[in-house]
């Protein structure tokens, strides 16, 4: 067969059929692990509630452009001063803001940026914290001391204070979506680094790591090929909880008017309500609804994190 290595050649190079068999075995193994994970996860009522809630928010984020294009949602930035400060009606389900914009459409669209900030900031935080934790735990000695003192510095500072400082000093001036994501991401990595380091200190003394060293495997391959996969479930559970913290952080920044100015978020809607004194004018929906959405999405990720903790730690499942 064209392109297939002939058996018996020097060096014992595997054939294409061998590679295909290996890929099939790995896919089957991945499928079996996924099924086993789902069986354990589906037994957690709180985890399933969080999962269903998250699916609702993801569906909102994905369908916003389609529903707006079909006319079922209004453009979230469409202004109509004739409709200022409207209460909930059959046309404006959640009322309108000071510029006559439909709050229902803005809240629906706000799920997009809110979830993006949560997931992207968590990815930055998990990536940075995991790499530093792996290096610190595996190599130890003076490198561990230096990295852990940096971690201690980030842990001592209150997270929101650190976010405010970084948002003020980092370029460019003002705030946009990706600057807010970066600022939140690099403010939340320290706890992950310490968590991963503790896991690596235990894993690097295991027999499978000693065997890898004995056959001449390099340190980088040992860290990322043998140790990291065994710590991944812990990192994944931590990432889910970090998404909730990132969303709360963005809501706080937007509420004090230093959040992303180029997108609609639930925190930004709350900030608009504060500026317009919505409570004083009787527009309670303007404050309550986005606040409830923020609480609900944070609760969804918290319940998911709790369920994943049960899966990662078998002792919690037995309680």
Average pLDDT, the chain: 82
Q: What is the pLDDT, as a whole number, of residue 7?
A: 42
Q: What is the pLDDT, as a whole number, of residue 9?
A: 43
Contacts of 64 (CB under 8 A, 6+ apart): 73, 108, 109, 111, 112
Is 280's pLDDT higher than 90? Answer: no
Is 186's pLDDT higher than 60? Answer: yes
Strand partners, 102: 96
What are the residue boundaries of the structural domains of the chain, listed by start?
117-264+301-317
Average confidence (pLDDT) over 157-176:
80
Q: What is the pLDDT, as a whole number, of residue 6?
A: 41
Per-residue pLDDT tens digits for 66-83: 888 887 888 887 777 777
Four-point Cα dihedral 7, 12, 16, 17, nearest 10: 70
pTM of the model: 0.82
For residues 88 and 2, the model is more confident at: 88
Strand partners, 96: 102
Is 26's pLDDT higher than 80? Answer: no
CA distance 39 to 27: 18
Percent of the chain with pLDDT over 70: 91
Q: What is the pLDDT, as a whole number, of residue 313?
A: 64
* H or E segment to which residue 244 belongs: helix 228-255
Per-residue pLDDT tens digits for 30-41: 777 777 777 777
Q: Among 25-39, 146-160, 175-189, whose mean pLDDT is lowest?
A: 25-39
Q: Among 84-88, 96-100, 243-247, whose mean pLDDT is lowest?
A: 84-88
Average confidence (pLDDT) over 275-285:
76
Ranges assigned E (strand) in the chain: none
Q: Among 22-36, 63-77, 91-105, 153-167, whose mean pLDDT is lowest?
A: 22-36
Taking alpha carbons only, the member of 241, 113, 234 closest to residue 177 is: 113
Taking alpha carbons only, the member of 233, 234, 156, 153 closest to residue 192 is: 234
The domain made up of 117-264+301-317 is a member of CATH 1.10.3720.10:
yes
């Amino acid at each position: 067969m064209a392109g297939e290595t002939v058996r018996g050649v020097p060096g014992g190079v595997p054939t294409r059929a061998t590679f295909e068999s290996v890929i099939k075995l790995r896919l089957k193994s991945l499928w079996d692990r996924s099924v086993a994970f789902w069986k354990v996860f589906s037994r957690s009522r709180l985890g399933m509630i969080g999962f269903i809630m998250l699916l609702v928010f993801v569906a909102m984020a994905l369908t916003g452009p389609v529903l707006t294009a079909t006319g079922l949602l209004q453009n979230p930035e469409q202004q109509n001063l004739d409709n200022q400060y409207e209460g909930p009606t059959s046309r404006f389900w959640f009322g309108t803001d000071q510029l006559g914009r439909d709050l229902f459409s803005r809240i629906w669209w706000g799920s997009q940026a809110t979830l993006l900030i949560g997931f992207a900031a968590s990815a930055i935080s998990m990536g940075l914290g995991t790499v530093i934790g792996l290096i610190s735990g595996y190599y130890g000695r003076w490198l561990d001391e230096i990295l852990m003192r940096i971690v201690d510095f980030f842990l001592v500072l209150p997270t929101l204070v650190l976010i405010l400082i970084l948002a003020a000093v980092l370029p460019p001036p003002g705030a946009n979506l990706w600057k807010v994501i970066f600022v939140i991401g690099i403010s939340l990595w320290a706890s992950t680094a310490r968590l991963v380091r503790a896991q690596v200190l235990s894993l690097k003394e295991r027999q499978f790591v000693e065997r890898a060293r004995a056959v001449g495997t390099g340190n980088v391959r040992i860290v990322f090929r043998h140790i990291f996969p065994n710590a991944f479930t812990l990192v994944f559970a931590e990432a889910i909880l970090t998404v909730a913290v990132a969303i709360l952080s963005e809501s706080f920044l937007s509420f004090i008017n230093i959040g992303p100015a180029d997108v609609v978020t639930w925190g930004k809607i709350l900030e608009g309500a504060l500026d317009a004194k919505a409570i004083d004018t009787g527009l309670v929906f303007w404050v309550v609804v986005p606040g409830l959405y923020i609480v609900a999405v944070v609760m969804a990720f918290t319940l998911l994190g709790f369920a994943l903790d049960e899966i990662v730690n078998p002792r919690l499942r037995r309680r």
